[in-house]
Chain A
Amino acid sequence: MKKALLVLVVGLAAVSLFAAGGADAKAGGGKITLMQNKPEIDAMLKAYAAIWSKANGTEVVIKSIGGTAGGVGQQLKADYAAGDMPDIFSFDGIETYKEWEALISDLSAEPWVSKTAVAFKKDGKVFGFPVAVEGWGMAYNADMLAKAGIDPKSLVNLGAYKAAFEKLDTMKAELGVNSVVSMAASVEMGWVTADHNFNSLLSNGLPYGDLSATNALLAGNVDDTRLGEYADWVELLFKYADKGVLTTGNYDSQVGAFATGKAVFLHQGNWTDPNMKAANATFKMAFAPHGSMKKATDGIFVAAPSFYAINKESKNVAAAKKFLADLVATTEGNKYMVTDAGMIPAYSNVTLQPSGMLSQSVQSWAAAGKVYSWNQYNFSGDFRQKTLIPIYNQFATGQISKAQFVDLMKKAFIANKK
């Protein structure tokens, strides 16, 4: 008898196990899930979502995915196989868009479309809500440049940078730095080389949105002069970078070197503002022109790096659309985007300004119209990560020469020809 009772209890418990948590998956009405790729703004987004939920009566679940073991892309695949796709999810460009094309809604009729210049478009239709505007380039320590008598505004071409680097290199002890530039080229930090730095080859010096150089490379046609100049720039960066940070440093060490005054320049973007704050870096900093070519190129790289897409098959498309629209239209939404999350708004009606120095620098470059686009996502993630990252890494660790670097890049583009 005792045994039979035990079996019964265990059986009931087992059945209840399957129910636990399952109810959550069944609830369709009154809930939207948003999956995004920036864990650093997770807390702020969740706080805003709670406020919005209360005002609109729809529950909002925020999932922030980061991590070296796979990001939003991997999680989406797993969730797709599990039949559990989020209602709103972030994506970074055309290649990722193509992965989920059949599921992404057309947002061309949304109210915020007219207020932004950087929405994700394909074939004339809008499919992506720009999350923020971000910019990257050569961030500099104003105090140190002043000490060295170098005017950042003069750094508009390769020659100027070369001279500046050489001068700063002789003054290392005086400035208290380990190196002139803080640059990272390890496999883990491959996004700095194969995504951002690579992009300067694609868009530097060209009108915003101009894809001529990009399309040429996609077709396997390599402009030798342009590639050669680019290689000179990469060589210059690597030469004056701290070797340890360059070859094995991670994000913390690369940004940390600049924030603690151990480097004059930092090859990164305005998303490092919170890190500067955490390190108590109070010195004046801004972005210098990205003078990586022989001719003068007075601008930095500004774009919307990620977009929110709305899942066509969501059970709550209307609520999802309203959530996004409210980010732009309401004061609470604006406050969250700019003041709390520290992002630069992509919408003309938002007048708030973020507090970080680098973000403000990006805004002034954007306001002056001196911006170059982000075109790297026109190349597949596979190409950038499996082919390009190792080439940069080899060059940074001194295993290949500049000539070999140029040769390997050229071969890579030809092999990648669509």
Chain B
Amino acid sequence: MNKKRENSAIFWLFLAPVLLAFLLVIIIPFFMGVFYSFTNWSSSARADNALKFIGLTNFTGSFKDPAFAYSFGVTILYTILNMIFINFVAFALALLVTSQLKLRNIYRVGFFVPNLIGGLILGYIWQFIFNNAIPSLGRIFNLLAFLNVPENLILSKNTTAILALVAVGTWQYAGYIMMIYIAAIENVPLELHEAAKIDGATPFVRLMKITIPMAAQAFTVTTFLTLVNSFKQFDVNVSLTSGGPSTIYMSKPILGTELLALNIYNTAFVSNNLAMGQARAVVFFLVLAIIALIQVYVNKKKELEL
């Protein structure tokens, strides 16, 4: 009896601080945010400032807005591309770093360093590189003169600007995911590799038949992390492209690389429509939660099979 009580007491005592913080910082503001999305809340001092309940107006308004619909599309595209590139690069780097290279510890640190810097700053650095540094290469080397032609500036066209976002996103995040893969690769017992070598398996076969299946559990985690982080991307978006260049969608001119987080932010601050921004954030959350749940569920199943 005493033990059970003691267990229960410790259980709640140890949980109390985090539950309190969680409640105060996440839960309550979250529900407040959801509530506000059904109102005309604006956090400003307009002449007529009464808080009115307006039902689903913010939601229907958002779905009718071509910029929001486009934003959804471009975010999904960005997320898919980002996930593929990050995981591919991270896994490749992990393979390199876990091989017998002499300087592998230095390489490991080097690849991780971009992750240490905030996204806002990374975006500014790369904006500088794309707009100033790369064209200047075209001025220095005649062979690369095409780089200096204004039409070829990477951030001036929609398609290449999105690829630029993916490039920077990958550069920022690959090192971190690489660490997880390193752990998975190094976790494979050496005996398995030795046995396979004796059986005459080439490194490639060993990769496909041993390393990758054993890393299946890591894939669940990395897929989840890259999915959620790509979908939520904001800092790099703001500083690298500010949502530009522009494009035409549903015959309305809109911003061409405005990911969802930026769209929500612009709705709240530039359009001065905080309540609609909240509504879009709620939709954003629901979509992401559903996708993440599906992804983890599918991956867990595959894990068991492998």
Contact = CB atoms under 8 A, between A and B. Distances in A.
A and B in contact, CB less than 8 Å: yes
Interface of A: 68-70, 73-74, 76-78, 80-81, 98-104, 186-188, 242-244, 246-250, 253, 380-382, 385-387, 389-391, 393-394, 397-400, 408
Given A248-B150, A390-B253, A99 B269 contact: no
B239 A68 contact: yes
Contacts of B150: 242-244, 246-248
B269 A70 contact: yes
B290 interface: no
A25 B254 CA distance: 41
Interface string B117-140: 000100000000001100100000
B230 to A, nearest CB: 20
A248 B149 CA distance: 12
Contacts of A394: 246-248, 253
B246 A391 contact: yes
Contacts of B241: 187
B254 A385 contact: no
Contact of B253 (A80, A102, A104, A391): A391
Given A68-B238, A77-B274, A408-B253, A389 B43 contact: no
Given A68-B239, A248-B156, A80 B44 contact: yes
Nearest to A190: B244
Contacts of A397: 156-157, 245
Contacts of B156: 186, 247-248, 397
A69 B43 CA distance: 18
Contact of B272 (A68, A382, A408): A382
A77 B278 CA distance: 14
Contacts of B252: 387
Contacts of B273: 382
A248 B246 contact: no
18 contacts: A68-B242, A69-B120, A69-B238, A186-B245, A187-B243, A244-B153, A247-B151, A248-B153, A248-B156, A381-B270, A381-B272, A386-B67, A386-B254, A387-B252, A391-B253, A393-B244, A397-B245, A400-B248
Nearest to B241: A187
Interface in B95-151: 120, 131-132, 135, 148, 150-151
Nearest to A313: B45
A248 B44 CA distance: 34
A248 B155 contact: yes
A186 B266 contact: no
A186 B243 CA distance: 11
Contacts of B57: none
Contacts of A74: 269
A400 B148 CA distance: 23
B81 to A, nearest CB: 21
B60 interface: no
A380 B270 CA distance: 10
B255 interface: yes
B45 A393 contact: no
Contacts of A389: 246
Interface in B212-247: 238-239, 241-247
B47 interface: yes
Contact of B270 (A102, A243, A385): A385
A98 B46 contact: yes
Interface residues of B, number: 41
Among A69, A187, A389, A408, the most chain B Cβ lie within 10 Å of the Cβ of: A187
B131 A187 contact: no
Given A248-B156, A381-B272, A385-B270, A390 B43 contact: no
A399 to B, nearest CB: 8
A102 B148 CA distance: 52
A35 to B, nearest CB: 14
A78 B132 CA distance: 34
A81 B42 CA distance: 10
Given A68-B242, A187-B245, A244-B150, A102 B45 contact: yes
A398 B269 CA distance: 30
B271 interface: yes
B295 interface: no
Contacts of B255: 187, 386, 390
- 8 closest A-B pairs by beta carbon, nearest first, are A187-B244, A390-B246, A243-B150, A390-B253, A244-B150, A102-B45, A103-B45, A393-B246
Given A80-B44, A386-B67, A408-B253, A187 B238 contact: no
B153 A99 contact: no
A412 to B, nearest CB: 8
A188 B43 CA distance: 26
B49 interface: yes
A186 B155 CA distance: 10
B244 A382 contact: no
Given A187-B243, A187-B246, A248-B153, A77 B270 contact: no
Nearest to A85: B45
Output the residue of B44, B67, B239, B246 with the most chain A CB within 10 A: B246
A80 B45 contact: yes
Contacts of A73: 269, 272
Nearest to B246: A390
A177 to B, nearest CB: 16
A98 B243 contact: no
Contact of B43 (A77, A380, A385, A393): A77
A323 to B, nearest CB: 21
Interface in B152-189: 153, 155-157
Contacts of B45: 80, 99-104
Nearest to B152: A244
Given A68-B238, A381-B272, 15 more contacts: A68-B242, A69-B239, A78-B43, A99-B42, A244-B148, A244-B153, A381-B270, A381-B271, A382-B273, A386-B266, A389-B246, A390-B253, A390-B254, A394-B248, A400-B248
Contacts of B266: 386
A387 B269 contact: no
Contacts of B243: 187
